[in-house]
Amino acid sequence: MFQNFYINFRVIFGLALAALVTSCSSQSPEGVKKGRLGGSSLPARGALNSPSDIDKDETPGEPGDLAVPDLSGALRASFKVTVRLDGSGGFLGLANLIHLEACNGPIDIAVNPSPEVLKTGDISKLLVIGASQPINCPAIQSSVDISKLLGGFFAAKPTGEGLPIKRVGDVLALTSLLGVSYEPARPLFPSLLAGKKENLTRLSVSNPTTATLDGKAYQGTFGLEMKEYDTPYQPPGMSFNFPKSMYFSTTASGFDGLDPLKGLIFDQLNFRLSVAPIAITQIEVKGRADKLISVIASVPDEALSGLLKTIAPIVKNTVNSKGIDNQILMGLSKDITATITINLTNQDGLDQVSQEGGRGETFSAGAAVPQATN
Amino acid sequence: MFRVKHIFMLGFVLLSVSCGSRLKRASEVSSLFSQAPKSVGDIATDICKSLAARPKAPTTKSMLPQLAGCAGAGLTATDFDKISAFTFNDLPGGKTAADQAEADVFSKSIRTQIWLNKQIPQLLPLLSDLMKQKDQLVVGELKLPESATKDLENLVKPVIKITQAPKFDLDELTFSVKLNIEITGAINVSNDILIDGKVFSNGIAVTISTPKPYPSYEKSFLQSFDVVFLVIPYAKDIYLDMGVNMKIYNIGLTGPLDKAINQVFGTGLKTMVDTLIKVGDKS
């Protein structure tokens, strides 16, 4: 019931990076400059300065005009993935007893937010996951091999039309992904460079949305809220202190019946990131296990072991079954919240970057940075 | 054939669906709590206080104070993976065998503490397997597995019956089942057994007791017994605590019995838990 998060991990990560880099997508090319590099000569280690005054009208993304520096291969980072389970209620209250870290393990990822990738919309090329690194999960009697799991599941075929992202006010929003279209566009990311600091600081949107997949409509609500802005952040276990980071949360509710693999429906998807230097320092995914059952059921047998192998066939038969065994297992999965936390542990080049808060000011138009030319 | 195993499995899973290693350091569990973590002893004490205060089953109202109090939980716990038998120690405060040599009824109180070296999700396959066999848990005789009776078939003949099928109260978060055990042969045992459990927010407690009226000496070698069984998820492990007080009609064997009971309980319980875990692993 947990691999679903890994299945979608690359999508989430790719979107995060894409959105982070394309925060400037509505700007004219000269609106984005490689800013003060904080001691580094590499673009990826530096910062993106922002323009001061940007049209806030809804602006569809035009990938052909993306003013994106070529950072391909420049962001090489290591992360620690932690899976945590917390239950509440359940049959006889048994889920109340489930509070544990199921497993954790490292993963290396190279990010390639090159203009070409952004133009083609081939998100799968944004990330290169390191050699197979199974994460041992004794609590669920499984080892999770992210490379294997991702192998057959991430199928974001390049559209040739660029990333389906557009800016709506201070938010970058998805119009479609993995065959699902969103009306209005689904809030994904703050528009970091286009938004004004005072707006981004109190950013909070909640949009009733219709998601359409294969002609069928699903109703729900997407939200995005800025929790922290311009705050220093030191990832657990790292000595590097990111002087100005932000923490925001995207939420999804409803959309019952929508394939979570395609819809990427999570209760919460939280990002903590830094723009100067560019880094995703933490991603946190929270979701109810039972909402993601169809994903488990579609995981190939060879990628499963232990408990998951036991549960998968039960889950597949659950829809039409009223058996107590399924009820209990389903009850437990419904009452268990899985939290996947992906923490940055190392990123190439950080040792050359200043950690002084006054440098690399980049987040918003309101920041004290040189004005971009218009 | 497997109904005894299944009823044990049911009890065990309901008891054990949680998490814990030996004496846990605060640093090992700090992530689990927003405030300073309670020790496993504190949790056990809380649960036992709740049990003692309950007017209805499961309750320890009528049990020995040293059994109901659960004092010293975790202090002598050993790792399940490192033992060949559970170690049952005498509960403090009880009379010795010599003190009771002339008494009509020999009273014995013992206790074991174990870290199961498992976490809750690891027991879910066992739960799944168990629930598939739920239809067998009905009123009637339980067929004992051959492995449990083979060595004893020339000495005793045990018969266990379910006299009340398992009941679950989803509001109270309690469960109960009633059994009757009859053993004939070298010794006679005839007792009704009440098994009651409750899921608390931080653990599961099960009481096993023999209701009054107690059987006479002619009918049963064993007059009565009380068991308090705790299952507490703690620090990525599961803590098990089992205290037993039994009253045995004195047939002049208090000395040998006194020594043998701890060993019999220790070996028997270990075998049972090993079997259940293997069943779960195969699921």
What integer best gives the mean pLDDT of chain B?
79
Question: Which pLDDT value is given to residue B46?
Answer: 95
Question: Which pLDDT value is given to residue B50?
Answer: 95
Q: Which of B6, B10, B17 to mutate to test the interface with A (most CBs of A within 10 A)?
A: B17
In tens, the pLDDT along B243-275 reads 999 998 887 777 777 778 888 778 777 777 776
Q: Tell me the C-alpha distance between A279 and A348, whole Å.
A: 10
How far CA A174 is from CA of A19, A166, A168, A210, A273, in Å, comes to 10, 7, 10, 12, 19
Q: What is the dihedral of CA B48, B53, B57, B60, to 10 degrees?
A: 50
Extract the tokens encoding B71. Answer: 């004092």
Among all residues of chain B, which has the CA nearest to that of A142?
A: B122
Q: Tell me the C-alpha distance between B263 and B244, whole Å.
A: 13
Task: Assign domain B3-282 one CATH number from 3.40.50.300, 1.20.1440.230, 3.40.350.10, 3.30.530.20.
Answer: 3.30.530.20
Question: Which pLDDT value is given to residue B52?
Answer: 95
Q: Are the Cβ atoms of B204 and A97 closer than 8 angstroms? A: yes
pLDDT means per 10 residues, chain A with 374 residues, are: 44 59 40 30 36 37 43 72 80 80 77 63 62 63 56 48 77 84 90 78 95 94 94 92 92 84 79 85 78 48 54 46 44 73 87 60 33 31
Per cent of chain A over pLDDT 70 is: 47
Proportion of chain A in helix, strand, coil states, percent, rounded to 5: 30, 35, 35
Question: Which pLDDT value is given to residue A2?
Answer: 40
Interface contacts A/B by beta carbons within 8 Å: 88
Question: Which pLDDT value is given to residue A280?
Answer: 84
C-alpha distance from A100 to closest chain B C-alpha (Å): 6
Rg for chain B, CA atoms, rounded: 19
Torsion sign, CA atoms A293, A299, A301, A302: negative
Contact A17, A165 (CB under 8 A): no
Contact B91, B111 (CB under 8 A): yes
Would the pTM of this model clear 0.80, i.e. be above it?
Answer: no
Extract the tokens encoding A36. Answer: 């003060």
Question: Which pLDDT value is given to residue A19?
Answer: 58
Q: Are the Cβ atoms of A101 and B31 closer than 8 angstroms? A: yes
The residue among A144, A109, A151 whose CA lies nearest residue A130 is A109
Nearest-by-Cβ selection for A97 from B120, B125, B236: B120
Question: Which pLDDT value is given to residue A27?
Answer: 34
Nearest-by-Cβ selection for B199 from A94, A139, A329: A94
Q: Are the Cβ atoms of B124 and A332 closer than 8 angstroms? A: yes
The residue among A22, A9, A4 whose CA lies nearest residue A79 is A9
Q: Tell me the C-alpha distance between B147 and B244, whole Å.
A: 25
Question: Which pLDDT value is given to residue B59?
Answer: 95
Among all residues of chain B, which has the CA nearest to that of A312?
A: B125
In tens, the pLDDT along B72-125 reads 999 999 999 898 888 888 888 777 777 787 788 988 899 999 999 888 777 766
C-alpha distance from A16 to closest chain B C-alpha (Å): 27
Q: Tell me the C-alpha distance between A24 and A190, whole Å.
A: 11
Q: Are the Cβ atoms of A92 and B170 closer than 8 angstroms? A: yes
Among all residues of chain A, which has the CA nearest to that of B127?
A: A325
Q: Which residues of A touch B202 (CB under 8 A)?
A: 96-97
Cβ of residue A160 closer than 8 Å to a chain B Cβ: no
**pLDDT over 60 (residue B20):** no
The residue among A160, A159, A165 whose CA lies nearest residue A61 is A165
Q: Is the peptide bond before B58 cis (omega within 30 degrees of 0)?
A: yes
Which of A356-370, B141-155, B201-215, B244-258 tops mean pLDDT? Answer: B201-215
Extract the tokens encoding A322. Answer: 């009223």
Cα separation of the two ends of chain B:
18
Q: Tell me the C-alpha distance between B187 and B262, whole Å.
A: 19
**Amino acid identity, position B156:** V
Q: Is the peptide bond before A277 cis (omega within 30 degrees of 0)?
A: yes
H or E segment and range at residue A76: strand A75-87
Nearest-by-Cβ selection for B131 from A310, A311, A324: A324
Q: Are the Cβ atoms of B128 and A329 closer than 8 angstroms? A: yes
Q: Tell me the C-alpha distance between A227 and A224, whole Å.
A: 10
C-alpha distance from B16 to closest chain A C-alpha (Å): 10
Cβ of residue A217 closer than 8 Å to a chain B Cβ: no
C-alpha distance from A232 to closest chain B C-alpha (Å): 22
Question: Which pLDDT value is given to residue A231?
Answer: 93
Question: Which pLDDT value is given to residue A311?
Answer: 52
Nearest-by-Cβ selection for B121 from A96, A307, A325: A307
**DSSP-derived 3-state class of residue A29:** helix
**Amino acid identity, position A313:** P
Name which residue leads in pLDDT, A93 or B164.
B164
**DSSP-derived 3-state class of residue A277:** coil
Neighbours of B25 (CB within 10 A): 11
Measured CB to CB, residues of chain B less than 8 Å from chain A are 14, 17-19, 31-32, 119-122, 124-125, 127-128, 131-132, 134, 168, 170, 173-175, 199-204, 233, 236, 283
